[in-house]
Structure 1
Amino acid sequence: MRAMCEKVIPNTNSSWRYCKYTIDFIPFNWHYHPEFEICLTLNSRGVCHIGDYIAPYAELDLVILGPDLPHTWQSSANHDDSPQVVHVAQIPKKWLQQQVASHPEFAVLEPMLITAFRGLKFSLSTAVKAKAIFEQIEQAEPLEQYLGLFKLLYLLSKDSEARTLSSSTFNYLDKSDPARDKFEKVVEYIYQHYTESLSAEQLATMAHMSTNHFHRFFKKRMERTLTEFINQLRIGKACKELINTNRAITAISDQCGFKNISNFNRRFLALKGSTPSQFRKRLRQKSLV
Structure 2
Amino acid sequence: MDKAKFEKIPQRQGVSWRYLEIQDCSGVCDWHYHQEFELVLHRHTQGNGFAGHYQGELEHNTLWLISPDTPHSFACRPLSEDTLPERHSVWFKREWIANMIFNCLELRKLDAVLKRAQKGICLSKESGERIYQLLIQLKIDSHIECLSTLILILGIVAEDKSATTLLSFKRQHSDERETTNNKYDRAKIEKLSFLIEKNYHESITLADLAKSLCTSESSIHRIFEAHFHESFSQHLKKVRLNHAAELLTHSDLPIHLIAEKVGYHNQANFNRLFKRYKHVTPRQYRKEFGQSAEV
The TM-score normalised by the length of structure 1 is 0.58
The yes-or-no answer on 1:89 pairing with 2:105 is: no
Residue range with higher mean Cα deviation, 69-78 or 95-104: 69-78
* Aligned 8 A contact 1:40 1:88 in 2: yes
CA contact (8 A) 2:69 2:176 kept: no
Which stretches in structure 1 are left out of the alignment for 5+ residues?
181-289
Structure 1 distance, partners of 2:80, 2:106, is 46
- Determine the structure 1 residue equivalent to 2:72: 71
Aligned to 1:3: 4
Q: Which amino acid aligns with 1:70?
A: P
The residue aligned with 1:102 is 103
Q: Secondary structure at the match of 2:48?
A: strand
Q: What residue in structure 2 maps to residue 149 of structure 1?
A: 150
1:100 and 1:121 mapped to 2: Cα distance? 22
C-alpha contact 1:52 1:170 (8 A) present in aligned 2: no
Show the counterpart of 1:122. 123
1:109–1:157 CA contact under 8 A, matched in 2: yes
> What is the Cα deviation at residue 81 of structure 1?
5.8
Conservation of the 8 A alpha-carbon contact between 1:24 and 1:81 = no
Deviation at 1:63, TM superposition (A): 1.0
RMSD value, Cα? 2.0
What's the CA shift for 1:100?
0.9
Q: For 1:48 and 1:147, how far apart are their aligned partners in 2?
A: 29
Aligned pairs for 1:164-183 (under 5 A) are 164-172=165-173, 173-175=175-177
Residue 16 to residue 177, structure 1, CA distance change in 2 (3 Å): closer
Matches of residues 94-243 of structure 1 in structure 2 within 5 Å? 94-172=95-173, 173-175=175-177
Equivalent residue for 1:242? Answer: none
Aligned to 2:52: 51
- Deviation track 1:237-281 (CA, whole Å, cap 9, x = no partner) reads xxxxxxxxxxxxxxxxxxxxxxxxxxxxxxxxxxxxxxxxxxxxx
* Equivalent pair of 2:22/2:88 in contact (CA under 8 Å): yes
Once the two structures are superposed, residues 48-69 of structure 1 have per-residue CA deviations (whole angstroms, 9 ceiling, x without a partner) of: 0011110111111111111111
AA at the equivalent of 1:46: G
Is 3-12 or 73-82 further displaced after alignment?
Answer: 73-82
1:36 has 2:37 as partner:
yes
- Name the residue aligned to 2:245: none
- Structure 1 segments, 4+ long, off by >2 Å, are 76-79, 169-174
CA distance in 2, matches of 1:147, 1:114: 23
Shift of residue 134, structure 1, vs aligned partner:
1.0
For 1:61, the aligned partner's letter is T
| Structure 1 counterpart SS, 2:37 | strand
Residues 63 and 122, structure 2, Cα contact 8 Å, conserved in 1: yes
Question: What pairs with 1:260-279 in structure 2 (closer than 5 Å)?
Answer: none
CA contact (8 A) 2:71 2:176 kept: no
Alpha-carbon separation, structure 1, partners of 2:95 and 2:25 = 34
Question: Partner of 2:23 in structure 1?
Answer: 22
Deviation at 1:82, TM superposition (A): 2.6
Percent identity, please.
Answer: 23
Deviation at 1:24? 5.3
CA contact (8 A) 1:121 1:163 kept: yes
Contact 1:30 1:71 in 2 (8 A): yes
- 8 Å Cα contact 1:18/1:87 also seen in 2: yes
Q: Structure 1 pair 167/145, CA: closer, same or farther in 2 (3 Å)?
A: same
Q: How many Å apart are 1:116 and its aligned residue?
A: 0.9
Judged with a 3 Å threshold, the aligned counterparts in structure 2 of structure 1 residues 94 and 170 are, in CA distance, closer, same or farther, namely same
* SS of the residue 1:23 aligns to: coil
**How far apart in 1 are the matches of 2:37 and 2:25?**
25
